[in-house]
Structure 1
Amino acid sequence: MPSPEPGELPAAVTIWEVGPRDGLQNEQAVVPVEVKLEFLRRLADAGLRIVETTSFVRPEWVPQLADAAEVLAGLDRRDGVRYPVLVPNSRGLDRALDAGVADVAVFAAATESFTRRNLNRGLDEQFAMFEPVVRRATDEGLAVRGYLSMVFGDPWEGPVPVEQVVAAGRRLLEMGCGQLSLGDTIGVATPGQVEAVLRAFTAAGVPVASLAVHFHDTYGQALANTWTALRHGVSAVDSSAGGLGGCPYAKSATGNLATEDLVWMLDGLGVEHGVDLAALAATSAWMAEQLGRPSPSRVVKALTGA
């Protein structure tokens, strides 16, 4: 693939920081509320303007996030910073509204197998569950994001047909989600697959401005996949400070794309992002200390030795 001209890349990228939610949800030892609140404060101080905070999932499903209401109650909300919350169902939306949340997200899948394990529902049934949630959230004036997981591969079904992915993604957008995040949940995607999926969405009439990408680095392809998405015009990228994360329902999933690694690449490309890399790396090094293990981010290691 030839090197792009600068005009082929977006002038700026919106980083959707998922560390406090997706990054911590798979931690076995429960992280204290005060540590989570300090993490959120430091991320905002580093310049991140979207920080996904928690999820109103049932505590027995994800014990790490059982303190969602307490975290939101103690949150030092900053002007200009959005704090989205994942809501799995109508009850989750009720709790989000009670907490004064302005941004919510729903989490769907492109495959039958993962939907059964994650939601105990079929591929089509999940949309019947999400549709009233999305409709009521938009009626209440909330911004709604749709996550679509297992876009590039499923641990039980293998490669996922592109047309199946596009059909599922369009259903989320058509029910009212303002943005669709395409998730490589188990980290198996390669740049060629990313290009194929994005081209298919464009061919189906989905504007690239409504798409975001969410890559895991299981096979070391997250940055290459992000580069491919940027060249296709995607300007919203999910990442996790320090590369934290996994998926409690997909054991082969490893960490998310590290926000520091993403920022280092964006700096090299001349793409604006608004993040103070040194402050962010220091934040991830601090969180690594709280978790008792080194950060998997190569940029964090290079800048801080953590």
Structure 2
Amino acid sequence: MRKPQLTRAEGLPERVTIYEVGARDGLQNEDAIVDVAVKAEFVRRLVDAGLTTIETTSFVHPKWVPQLADAAELLTALDLPSGVRAPVLVPNERGLDRALAAGVREIAIFASATETFARKNLNSTLDEQFAMFTPTVERALDAGLAVRGYVSMCYGDPWEGDVPVEQVVQVTARLAELGCHELSLGDTIGVATPGQVIDLIGALGQAGVGVDRLAVHFHDTYGQALANTLTALREGVTTVDSSAGGLGGCPYAESATGNLATEDLVWQLDGLGIRTGVDLEKLVTTSTWMSTHLGKPSPSRVVQALAG
């Protein structure tokens, strides 16, 4: 299998942590319900490809995301090796109860940077969402869990348009104050460009949210995900969210297309000499295998090039 030519560049990290979201953020947006045995095999194959942080599922009510109704069953089916992080998304205290019962050690919560998306996704206002998050985070921390905070609509909202940087900073800083160890900045509808990425990371730093606590989560709707990721790496970010095969979108925002494909990310990072621990050939094979179960080809350009 062809590999990228290695050419190092100045101002980039030596290693990047890939936060794989395909099993959760990817599959939640599929029309078809994927069998739990297939999901479990998908996660095992991702581990075998070298991914060590895999967000496996979400304890959201099945009414809202029926594709993830088998969350507890999936976790029971998995027997992951030590050293592999398997966080799950929880929307509220009820979700946390289910996660704790399943023996989860790391969770993520999902906040909105805009009023409209907070109402549509969380059925709350921008401020009210924190009344829901606070007891969930406090209980999780008391139980010894690590808590990640997602911030959606950081760069644009399909209903509100441009999102003020100050508004994103305020939401992100409040999640940091709650105790979230990591804060993932989401370009939910894929409209960001590198200048916006620089501005937001800089503004967060001025507000006391250091780059060491940040991750980036780009969608590729306008073909900007890799450019935005490289920009974030130059600003000091070392954790990048991506989805094997480019699976995913957002069930509450129709204009949101797939996540940055993990294969596309690894191709770029391998070419820059940035270590990830991921075996690209095994990953491409995994996404090709998954595409047969989904009945459609992977949108990843690297998967298309190497598996075609």
Q: Into which bin does the TM-score normalised by the smaller protein fall?
A: over 0.9
Report the counterpart of residue 166 of structure 2 in structure 1. Answer: 163
Displacement after TM superposition at 1:275 (Å):
0.2
Aligned match of 1:118 in 121, 124, 130? 121
Give the secondary-structure state (helix, strand or coil) at the position aligned to 1:123.
Answer: coil
Aligned match of 1:41 in 32, 36, 44? 44
Matches within 5 A, 1:24-35: 24-35=27-38
Name the CA distance, whole Å, in 1 between partners of 2:239 and 2:256. Answer: 21
Equivalent position amino acid for 1:46 in 2: A
Question: Deviating runs (4+, > 6 A) in structure 1?
Answer: none
Report the counterpart of residue 62 of structure 1 in structure 2. Answer: 65
Give the secondary-structure state (helix, strand or coil) at the position aligned to 1:166.
Answer: helix
Equivalent position amino acid for 2:297 in 1: P
- Cα RMSD for the two superposed structures: 1.0
Matches within 5 A, 1:1-306: 6-305=9-308
Deviations 1:61-117, CA, capped at 9 Å, x for gaps: 000000101001111211110100000000100000000001100000100000000
Report the counterpart of residue 3 of structure 2 in structure 1. Answer: none
- TM (normalized to structure 2)? 0.97
Name the CA distance, whole Å, in 2 between partners of 1:136 and 1:172. Answer: 15
State how many pairs are aligned: 302
Displacement after TM superposition at 1:7 (Å):
4.9
Displacement after TM superposition at 1:139 (Å):
0.9
Name the CA distance, whole Å, in 1 between partners of 2:41 and 2:79. Answer: 9
Report the counterpart of residue 4 of structure 2 in structure 1. Answer: none
Equivalent position amino acid for 2:136 in 1: V
Deviations 1:194-234, CA, capped at 9 Å, x for gaps: 11111111111211000000000000000000000000000
Displacement after TM superposition at 1:133 (Å):
0.6
Flag structure 2 segments of 5+ consecutive residues without an equivalent. 1-7
Equivalent position amino acid for 2:285 in 1: A
Name the CA distance, whole Å, in 1 between partners of 2:163 and 2:288. Answer: 36
Name the CA distance, whole Å, in 1 between partners of 2:14 and 2:69. Answer: 39
Equivalent position amino acid for 1:61 in 2: W
Equivalent position amino acid for 1:129 in 2: M
Equivalent position amino acid for 1:21 in 2: R
Displacement after TM superposition at 1:6 (Å):
4.2
Name the CA distance, whole Å, in 2 between partners of 1:177 and 1:135. Answer: 10
